[in-house]
Structures are given as C-alpha cells and as structure tokens.
Amino acid sequence: MLGQLIPEAVEKISPSVVSITSTFAPGRGRSGGPAVATGTGLAVHAAGYLVTNGHVVAGAARVSARLHDGRSVDATVLGSDPATDIALLLLPGTRLVPAPLGDSERVRAGEPVVAIGHSLGLPGTPTVSFGVVSARHRPMGGSDWVLEGLLQTDAAVNPGNSGGPLVTLTPEVIGINTAMVPYAQGVGFAVPVNTVRLVFRDLIDYGRVLRPWIGVVASPASRLGVGGVQLLEVQPQGPAAAAGLRAGDLLVEVGLAPVTSLRELLSALRTGRLGSHLSVRYLRGETPGRSELELREAPLSSVPSRVPPTSPR
C-alpha cells in the first residue's frame, strides 16, 4: 500500500516544488566573490506566489527559482516574517501549479509523511525522504531566537530542503521544512501549514504579519481544578494592564473561547481584529472577574530577528 501511495503523493506535489538559488553580494564567498546558497520553495497560488524559508533568501542580492519544467525565473521577495521563518516570493508573469494545502491541526503523531526538496542543491528533480510525524507543537529556540508550534518529523531534512513541503500521503502539504538538529538523527522540524497560510495572507495584504499583542508574559497553569493561563508579568503600558489585569491572574476565557494553553490563548487572540476588543474572564485568587481587552499590533521589539543556525538552506 505504502509502495503505491508514496510515489503518487510525490508525483502530485512535485510540480509545485521549485529550487531556490540565492546570490549574495561580493565578499560573502570564501574567495571574495559572490556567495550562492540553495533552498526549496513551494507554489501556493497560480499567480506566481511561492513560500520558502526566510533564512533561504535573507540578505540576498538576487533570488531565482528553477521550476518543475526546467525554466529559471528571477523572483521578487515580497516580504519575510522572522518569527516563523517564512518568506513570500513572486515570480512575475509566471503561472504556477499551487500545492494542495491541508490542515495541520488535524495531523496526528505517527502519521506517515514525506519531505520533498532540493537537498544539497543537486540538479534535477527534488529528492524525497519518508518518515512519520514525531510530535506536534514543538518549540525550538536559542539565546536570541525561537520558533514555536513546529511539527517534528523523522523524515530526513537535509541542507537544501529548507522551504520545501512536508506532505501526507493524502496527499496534502501540512508543513514547510525549516530546521534540523545536526547532532541528532531523525529530528527535523516544519512550520505548520496553518501558520504558513496566515503569514502568506498577511504578507500579501499588509507586507508584514499583524500579530495581536496584549503585553503579558504567561504560562499554562492549573488552580482548584480549573485550567487556564497564568499571567506572570503584565507590562504597565500594555492592553492587559489597561483592562485591569494583574500578574498572578489566571485567564480562563478569551473571546468566549476557553484557554488552557498558550497555543489556545494565541489562537483566541487571532480571532479578533486589531483595534477591536475581546471579552476576557479570569480568576484573581478565587474571585472571578471579567473585562474587555483591546487588541494591538505587536511592537517590533517583540518579534525575533534571527533564525536557528541549525536551519538547512
């Protein structure tokens, strides 16, 4: 069964997979000449739109894409989101075959997947590796960067795979491969496709990702059998402070949605538009409270500007 499903999935998705070449200014190479890095991109709209990893194209003087049919086209970088390591590219005047996108929230640990990409920048068709989804909602971070909510897979993710799709056998794209752990075997990470959708739409509409911000540091907690998110810090000038929230309060509901984790809190905040208000329900000690929380755009200082050094190009 797998012997048939795997090649069928690869055949269905491969026309949407492109090879990305980034050329950097003179001086970046070992001999003082232009440095070249390779990665992978995925077509997400027929009108020439691609997504890839931000670190694949960051700082490049020129970016080109080699399509499934062998054509090479110069690409324009429309925007990049450091917090998710996703960049949006446009191939002007080029029709693409968009990949079918799935729902990464429906993915289960143990589900078989294939990673497709132009490993090591080798010429020809993309390479394929097979594995399973090892875990969901994984964080990966360092001293001054963090990627959150990632899919972990044991399908091999090699240099050159960055920006390529992680695909179910349905087949549907459930993630964009972004990082590997070089000192471990079978540990790769992908940005969930639901996150990629949000980034793609915001970069097209606004040129940046609009993130709701309430000015808190929070952690999952449990008190008296009630799940919630505990506020560890509340910034004095932030929306949470203006709503009367304090450090130590336990958020249990935002916008009528219960919150028991940071992921659920972020998801609830994204249901509102910037400038709007969401109702919040909280516990202060054993005393319940309600308030209205204004959604503001996250300040630039809260968005990371670097990506993992373990990211493969």
Q: What is the CA radius of gyration of the chain?
A: 21
pLDDT digits (tens, 9 = 90+) for 112-150: 999 999 987 777 789 999 999 999 988 765 434 456 689
The amino acid at residue 225 is G
User: Do 259 and 252 meet the contact criterion of CB atoms below 8 Å apart?
Assistant: yes
pLDDT digit string (tens) for 153-170? 999 988 889 999 999 999
Catalytic option among 16, 162, 249, 311? 162
**CATH no. for 15-90:** 2.40.10.10
pLDDT for res 143: 39
DSSP-based three-state secondary structure for 57: helix
103 flagged as catalytic: no
Same fold, 15-90 and 104-206: yes
Domain boundaries, the chain: 15-90, 104-206, 212-297
What are the E-state strand segments in the chain? 17-23, 36-45, 49-53, 62-66, 72-81, 86-90, 112-117, 127-141, 146-153, 165-168, 173-180, 188-192, 212-213, 216-223, 226-234, 250-254, 257-258, 277-284, 287-294, 296-297
pLDDT number for residue 252: 93
Query: Which pLDDT score, from 0 to 100, does residue 35 have?
Result: 87
Q: What is the pTM of this model?
A: 0.80
Rounded to the nearest angstrom, the gap between the alpha carbon of residue 98 and the centroid of all alpha carbons in its chain is 18
Whole-angstrom Cα distance, residue 214 to residue 210? 13
Question: Within 10 A of 43 (CB to CB), how many other CB atoms are there?
Answer: 27
Please pick, among 22, 80, 81, 85, the residue that the annotation labels catalytic: 85
Please tell me which residue in 22, 55, 119, 311 is annotated as part of the active site: 55
What CATH number matches the domain at 212-297, 3.40.50.720, 2.40.170.20, 3.40.50.300, 2.30.42.10?
Answer: 2.30.42.10
What DSSP line would sit under 101-145, residue for residue?
B--GGG--TT-EEEEEE-GGG-SSSPEEEEEEEEEEEEEEE-SS-
Task: List the chain residues with pLDDT less than 50.
Answer: 142-145, 301, 304-307, 309-310
What's the rounded Cα separation, in Å, for the pair 156 and 126?
13
Respond yes or no on whether the N-terminal peptide bond of residue 112 is cis (omega within 30° of 0).
no
Tell me the C-alpha to C-alpha distance, in Å, between residue 219 and each of 69, 212, 248, 311. 49, 17, 10, 27
CA 114 to chain centre: 18
Task: Please state, in angstroms and rounded to a whole number, the distance separating the CA atoms of residues 277 and 294.
Answer: 4
β-sheet bridge partners, residue 287: 284
Instruction: Give yes or no: 162 in active site.
Output: yes
Question: Which CATH topology does 104-206 take?
Answer: Thrombin, subunit H (2.40.10)
At residue 235, the pLDDT reads 92
**Which residues lie below 8 Å from residue 24, measured CB to CB, with a gap of 6+?**
34, 35, 36, 37, 59, 60, 61
Which pLDDT value is given to residue 274?
Answer: 86
The helix or strand, by DSSP H or E, that contains position 245, with its residue range, turns out to be none
